[in-house]
């Protein structure tokens, strides 16, 4: 394992919804994506991604799912939940989530 880490920030959206959203509407839709949708069984099972302010998508690894669900559940927001995710490069070159937290002010 190396010490290569990265920090991502963006609106959390489940992968099912990411696949449905047109690219040119990604950020607008991410800003209003609801907590209920993100916690729905099939949506949570699909995994999550973060949408940044430019509408770019960063898919999160499966290990992030439980941490993301916890943050969504604990959020005071009903829509447009923004997270910060720290990831670390593993031996095989994959990035693995090591920390997830909600960004409180934005």
The string of pLDDT tens digits covering residues 28-70 is: 999 999 999 999 999 999 999 999 999 999 999 999 999 999 9
pLDDT at 106: 64
The predicted model scores a pTM of 0.92
The string of pLDDT tens digits covering residues 59-100 is: 999 999 999 999 999 999 999 999 999 999 999 889 999 999
Helices (H), the chain: 15-20, 26-31, 35-39, 41-46, 64-74
Which residues, 6+ apart, have CB-to-CB distance to 59 below 8 Å?
Answer: 15, 18, 47, 48, 49
């Amino acid at each position: 394992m190396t010490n290569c880490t990265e920090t991502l920030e963006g609106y959390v959206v489940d992968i099912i919804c990411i696949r449905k959203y047109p690219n040119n509407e990604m950020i607008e839709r991410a800003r209003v994506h609801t907590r209920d949708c993100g916690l729905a069984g099939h949506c949570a099972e699909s995994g999550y991604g973060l949408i940044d302010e430019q509408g770019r998508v960063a898919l999160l690894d499966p290990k992030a799912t439980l941490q993301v669900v916890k943050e969504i559940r604990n959020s005071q927001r009903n829509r447009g939940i923004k997270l910060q995710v720290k990831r670390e490069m593993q031996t095989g070159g994959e990035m693995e989530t090591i920390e997830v937290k909600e960004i409180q002010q934005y």
